[in-house]
Chains A and B, each alone.
Chain A
Amino acid sequence: MSEAPILRVDQLSRHFPVRNMFGWTTGAVRALDDVSFEVRPGETLGIVGESGCGKSTLGKTLVGIHRPRGGRIVFEGKDITGQSASERGAAAPKLQYCYQDPGNSLDPRWTVRRSLTEPLIVHTALEPRDRNARIREILQQVGLPPTHLDLYPHELSGGQQRRVGLARILTLHPRLVVLDEPTSGLDVSVQAAVLKLLRRLQHAFSLTYLFMSHDLSVVRMMCDRVAVMYLGRIVEIASTEALFGAAKHPYTQSLLSAIPDIGGRRVTDTFALEGEPPDPSQPPSGCRFRTRCPRAAAVCAKIDPALQPIAPGQSAACLFV
């Protein structure tokens, strides 16, 4: 695991302006604020957090859909900060984003064949015959019969739509795939099938995954390392065993205590976290979690804790760890 990281993110931030009724900028939602991490080739890094914590913004900033306000993105040794997908040239197909809801991200008036062909036309110089061959090969890899090429998205089930969404990305032979909530909205039995497929594809195409999810039990199953986000910040990052075994940040601990543990203690008997995440356009001073934190002290309102290593491979942003 001492290889050079495939992706390095340094103090990345992305703010969205808040405008008043005259269109004047009156503030900013800090969707991403000083986010730094590294991804090693072949690993699966989980990004977990509740809605509005900045997971999707992070993914979209990495692939060039959003331009960052500051910071650096280094992909395979090249600085691609602020470049849109078209400016990235050869790097663009290697870094791909898999949308949360393929039912809405596939064009409803295009057949599966056309949706799968388009990225090849944009990014490669393949002849139509080679394109067809590659599409058929990938379709088989994601477990769909070739007869599905002529169907429209609405004729597919949710699980099949996910498979088409994945196939669409894999035709370009990416190195790193950002998976945005790949199993949200699926039934458990379908979810199991999709997760197994993701694992098989990771081996078959030697992929690196950035796995964004709010479902911690899925993340535990799929990821090598996990980063926990709260209001645009990474509050803790660690290997999966360390995070699920010895979480240090109070937010991570609360998040873990909210997962139902079938056969064990009941969350409804033990869960203690009160309140809801504050408005991201007006985050609290100091530590952002202090308004809900069971361990918050007066000093937390003054000092904004930075992410600090606390054990080998584990860092947390809290004054009391």
Chain B
Amino acid sequence: MSSIHGFAVQAPGDNLLEVENLRVSFATEHGVAKVLDGVNLTIRPGEIMGLVGESGCGKTTLANAILGILANNARREAGSIRFAGEDLLTMPRWQAESEIRGRSITFIPQDPFGSFNPLFPIRTQTMEVMKWKSPRRAARDGRGIAGFFSRYPRARRSADAAAVLQMLRTVQISKPEEAFGKLPHEFSGGQRQRLMIALALLPQPELIIADEPTTALDATIQAQILKLLKRLAKERGVSVLFTTHDLGTAYEICDRITVLYAGQEVETAPVDDFFQRPHHPYTVRLLESLPHPGRELREIGGEIPALVDPPAGCRFHPRCFRATEECLSDRPAVTPLGGGHQVRCYHPITGASRL
């Protein structure tokens, strides 16, 4: 880990997670892809934060950076990720692995079909999580010679098993005792996603990163899963970083929304304000391209830029209908618009100029 981040360390404030000016690039055969270009993101305790953008905008890279599971060819150029006041990127690796990843920050993947081991029953896979990441786990468990012979004290194991069963009931898996012995393929997609939510909640995390958790599901099942995730997160006060490309889903579940375009965050706002008064031209165009009865479809001209050689300045300027000279050279700074609404644009669309 380099120590490039030359930012003054701020007081943790009331944010659970603060991503500041994060730059991540990937070495590829075509050159260095600048996938994240100075991204800022904050998540407050108990909040569901939506990270919205089209494919290739860097949603998953940001989620992986927070989890510390970036690919080997990734390089962090600058920036910091502070979780509960501590920088995850400079923290020793053992600490990040034992205390943060899978414990304080858990993950719900996009694909419930490929994320379970097909060879082991649900019991093994849920108890594996509890063995290492249970809130009941003492620091000495699994260490030293005693730990080598019994890494999972029996008393804790039975308490953990009861907790898992309780959790399966909470996520509405019918007959949890039977489900324990079943293999993943015996569950439908919706049930597998419920099991994934259970796995993510079991360590009693403070933050869940949900990477497009409903994309692979049907409409009615998606509605059920969103409802469940929202209720559980609110009941338990867990923060969620919810990445999605579907604005409708983001409207359903999120408290605030940040829009990413080609590795730059362009607009952040509370959910209702976001949909009623979008300010960034990209956000406006994105909302206009949603099918809506009684309105003509409108596409965004042009294509997403190649990240190996992205446009300078604001990366949206080649497709933007309000772009001027200054957009070509420097990236606009964060402009607060009141009420927690922030936009990074020299020419935000406001009241009078709205189309």
Residues of A within 8 A of B (CB): 50-51, 157, 187-193, 195-196, 214-218, 220-221, 244, 254-255, 257-263, 266-268, 271, 273-274, 276
Give the complex CA separation of A121 and B251 in angstroms: 49
Q: Are B286 and A188 in contact (CB under 8 A)?
A: yes
Answer yes or no: B328 CB below 8 A from chain A CBs. Answer: no
Given contacts A187-B55, A263-B276, contact A273 B220 (CB under 8 A): yes
A274 → B minimal CB distance (Å): 8
Contacts known (A258-B222, A276-B221); A217 close to B290, Cβ less than 8 A: yes
Contact B291–A262 (Cβ < 8 Å) = no
Distance A218 CA – B248 CA, assembled complex (angstroms):
13
A280 to chain B, nearest CB (A): 12
Docked CA distance A148–B305 (Å): 19
Partner of A268, one of B188, B253, B285, B299: B253
Q: Are A258 and B223 in contact (CB under 8 A)?
A: yes
Closest to A274 in B: B224
Residue in B closest to A219 when the chains form the complex, CB atoms: B291
- Measured CB to CB, the nearest residue on chain B to A263 is B275
Bound-complex Cα distance A255 to B220 (A)? 6
Tell me whether A260 and B249 are in contact (CB under 8 A): yes
Contact, CB under 8 Å: A214 / B289: no
Beyond A188-B286, A189-B289, A195-B297, is A271–B247 a contact (Cβ under 8 Å)? no
Q: Which of B223, B291, B300 is in CB contact (< 8 Å) with A271?
A: B223
A187 partner, pick from B219, B220, B245, beta carbons under 8 A: B245
Known: A262-B248, A276-B221. A192 touches B289 (CB 8 A): yes
B224-A273 in contact (CB<8A): yes
- Judge whether B54 and A188 touch: CB under 8 Å: yes
Over the window 168-195 of chain B, the binary record of Cβ atoms lying under 8 Å from chain A Cβ atoms (1 yes, 0 no) is 0000000000000000000010110000
A50 to B251, CA, bound (A): 22
B339 is an interface residue with CB less than 8 A from chain A: no
Chain A neighbourhood of B290, CB < 8 A: 188, 192, 217, 262
Is there an interface contact between A260 and B276, defined as CB atoms closer than 8 Å? no
Give chain B nearest CB distance to A149 CB in angstroms.
19
Residues of B within 8 A of A215 (CB): 219
16 contacts between A and B (CB under 8 A): A188-B54, A189-B285, A189-B289, A189-B299, A191-B291, A192-B290, A195-B291, A196-B299, A217-B248, A221-B297, A255-B220, A262-B287, A268-B227, A271-B223, A276-B190, A276-B221
Contact B223 A268 (CB under 8 A): yes
A192 touches B247 (CB 8 A): no
Which residues does chain B contribute within 8 Å of A268, judged by CB atoms? Answer: 223, 226-227, 230, 252-253
Q: Does B218 contact A (CB under 8 A)?
A: yes
Measured between beta carbons, the chain B residues less than 8 angstroms from A191 are 289, 291
Inter-chain CA distance A50–B220, complex, in Å, is 8
Smallest CB gap from B297: residue in A = A192
A260 to B292, CA, bound (A): 11
Question: Is the CB–CB distance between A259 and B218 below 8 Å?
Answer: no
**Is the Cβ of B248 less than 8 Å from the Cβ of A271?**
no
Q: Does B303 contact A (CB under 8 A)?
A: yes
Q: Does B298 contact A (CB under 8 A)?
A: yes
User: Does chain A have a CB within 8 A of B293?
Assistant: yes
When distances are taken between beta carbons in the complex, the residues of chain A under 8 Å from B292 are 217, 221
Looking at the complex, which one of A192, A221, A262, A271 makes contact with B299 (CB distance below 8 Å)? A192
Contact A262 B275 (CB under 8 A): yes
8 A Cβ contacts from B216-263 to A: 218-224, 226-227, 230, 245-249, 251-253
Contacts of B289 in A (CB 8 A): 188-189, 191-192
Contact at A218–B300, with CB atoms within 8 Å?
no
B299 in contact with A216 (CB, 8 Å):
no
B293 touches which one: A221, A260, A266 (CB < 8 A)?
A: A221
Contact B219 A216 (CB under 8 A): yes
> Is there contact, CB below 8 Å, between B219 and A50?
yes
Give A51 to B218 CA distance when docked, in angstroms.
7
Chain B residues with Cβ below 8 Å from A188 are 54, 245-247, 286, 289-290
Which among A189, A266, A271 is the interface contact of B224 at CB below 8 angstroms?
A271
Considering only CB atoms, which chain B residue lies closest to A157 in the complex?
B303
Chain B residues positioned under 8 Å from A259 (CB to CB): 219, 248
* Assembly CA distance A311 to B161 (angstroms): 56
Is B252 a contact partner of A244 (Cβ separation < 8 A)?
Answer: no
Chain A: CB-nearest residue to B172: A274
Residues of A with C-beta under 8 A to B55: 187
Contact (Cβ within 8 A) B230 A214: no
Please determine whether B248 and A260 come into contact, CB atoms closer than 8 angstroms: yes
* A259-B219, A262-B248 given; A218·B226 CB < 8 A: no
- Chain B, 200-221, contact with A by CB distance < 8 Å: what is the 0/1 string? 0000000000000000001111
